[in-house]
Amino acid sequence: KGKVLELKDLSAKFTTDLIATTAYGIKANSLNDPEAEFRKNGRKIFEFTTYRGFEFLAMFFAPQFVKPLNIQFFHKESTKFLRHALWSTLEERERSGVKRPDLIDLLIELRRNQPEEEKKIL
């Protein structure tokens, strides 16, 4: 009836929920909660600022400055959040023995089938 429906944000929230469920086995609730942690951190990963622009330029045109300036490809806080979510979910799943058809279960299975010295990597 002449109304405009904004699908970009809705699609992004749905995609965030889908990734959180299939990869992490976590209910992100991005569709219902605009302040959902997974959504906020997912947005930060793709956030572009002037500073991030200079970081990307350095990565591609002056890679010798990447390490001394501690430049990372993804947003540091978001990387930390996602890494923590992954490891805490993995450890909880191993402890509880809960099975789900997601990436976490695949990682647990991979970890179980690795020689002891290689488990440190996973």
Both tokens of residue 102? 């997601």
Count CB atoms within 10 A of the CB of residue 51: 8
Q: pTM (2 decimals)?
A: 0.71
Residue 68 confidence class, pLDDT cut points 50, 70, 90 = very high
Q: What is residue 47's predicted lDDT score, i.e. its pLDDT?
A: 85
User: What is the secondary structure of 47-61 as a DSSP string?
Assistant: ---HHHHHHHHHHHH
Q: Which residue has the tokens 């970890």?
A: 111
Residue 75 confidence class, pLDDT cut points 50, 70, 90 = confident
Q: What is residue 32's predicted lDDT score, i.e. its pLDDT?
A: 93
Count CB atoms within 10 A of the CB of residue 15: 13
* Position 122 pLDDT exceeds 60: no
> Is residue 106 exposed (0-12), middle (13-18) or buried (19+ Cβ within 10 Å)?
exposed
Q: How far from 57 is each of 3, 15, 49, 54, 69, CA to CA, in Å?
A: 41, 29, 12, 5, 13
Residues 65, 66, 71: CA angle, nearest 5 degrees: 130
- The string of pLDDT tens digits covering residues 14-63 is 999 999 998 888 899 999 998 999 999 988 888 888 988 999 899 999 99
Average pLDDT over residues 86-107: 90
